[in-house]
Structure 1
């Protein structure tokens, strides 16, 4: 890193977002169904000394699924299912650490209903964060594994 900017040429690019799943196939199907994500490659099994060194675990066995994020350029959703994982309680909107992933959607009500129909749940209520003249709606929800999703839209 040079000058704290992420790389020697000053360009920082977000590559992907990773979610560790209890059931990677079920979670992948949720994101395909609700947000139109598509597989970028066949699922892969990851393990071995290089994987262990890179992630700081011993004997890790990971099933990895890569999904497109519609509208995102050169960024994808990476879902991992570890053969052995540490469960933790679902966080709340004010839990320290990574909190949520936000999706801007064309039809917030349809996305809201789609999440519920696909096994997700509501966390908050659809709220107008804009004005009566220029509405901008948002709501926090959970995917089937409890990860927080924010929907945003007009």
Structure 2
């Protein structure tokens, strides 16, 4: 148990092209940009455990949830787990009032796993991928 209570601050996604990914979250998903900044220096590199690291950040607001996009230099190569059932897999969850309308307005080049589907819990869900391949769940409860 920690001495001080924790509270959520943000959900972070590491990307290789901050500008393209930021444009997707802002222009396609309609999230607002709350902040943009860069960080570097020895303290940052030590904190993230990457020699000589610096990074560019964009924070987006999604109804009280902050999504942090970060592009590192140096960039590592690798890919996140491909499927949701893989250990370490992650996704960002966003909700809408009308998922069918949202789905119909998605640009044709946005990859989705399927059309909206209603699960046995009664929640309608849609999984799509951002330009970096990160999974985003859009749901209508």
TM-score, length basis structure 1: 0.79
1:40 to partner: Cα distance: 1.4
- Structure 1: 5+ residue runs without aligned partners? none
Aligned twin of 2:45: 52
Q: Could you tell me whether the CA contact under 8 Å between 1:38 and 1:68 is conserved in 2? A: yes
The answer to whether the aligner puts 1:27 opposite 2:21 as a matched pair is yes
TM value normalised by structure 2: 0.85
SS in 1 for 2:16: coil
Q: CA deviation at 1:120?
A: 2.6
Aligned residues: 140
Q: Structure 2: where are the runs of 5+ without partners? A: none
Q: Which has the higher strand share?
A: 2
Give the structure 2 partner of residue 84 of structure 1.
74
Secondary structure of 1:15's counterpart equals coil
Q: CA RMSD in A?
A: 2.1
Deviations 1:80-113 (A, max 9, x none): 1112222323521212114211111112123334
- Structure 2 distance, partners of 1:118, 1:143, is 13
- Alpha-carbon separation, structure 2, partners of 1:145 and 1:31: 11
**Partners in 2 of 1:58 and 1:118 — Cα distance?**
40
